[in-house]
Amino acid sequence: MAEPKKGYESLKAAVEKTIEGGKSFDSPEQLRKQMQWVLDRAQQYADACGVDREAVLEQWEKDRTYSWVNYYQDANQPDLSKYGSVVTLQKWMEEGKRLYGKDWLDWKFKCPACGHVQTMRDFKEAGKDPQLAYVNCASRHGLGGKKDCKWTTGGFLRIGGRYVIDSKYCPRLIFEFADKEG
CB count within 10 Å of CB 117 equals 16
* Residues forming a β-bridge with 88: 165
What per-residue confidence (pLDDT) applies to 2?
58
Could you tell me which of 149, 143, 112 has the C-alpha nearest to residue 127? 143
What per-residue confidence (pLDDT) applies to 37?
97
What per-residue confidence (pLDDT) applies to 181?
63
* Residues forming a β-bridge with 136: 152
Locate the DSSP E strands across the chain.
86-88, 108-110, 117-119, 162-165, 171-174, 176-177
Give the start-to-end residue ranges of the domains of the chain.
6-77, 86-177
What per-residue confidence (pLDDT) applies to 83?
76
pLDDT tens per residue across all 182 residues of the chain: 555 569 999 999 999 998 888 777 788 899 999 999 999 999 999 999 999 999 999 999 999 999 999 999 998 999 988 877 789 999 999 999 999 999 999 999 999 889 999 999 999 999 999 999 999 999 988 887 677 888 888 776 666 788 899 999 999 989 999 987 64
What per-residue confidence (pLDDT) applies to 126?
94
What per-residue confidence (pLDDT) applies to 182?
47
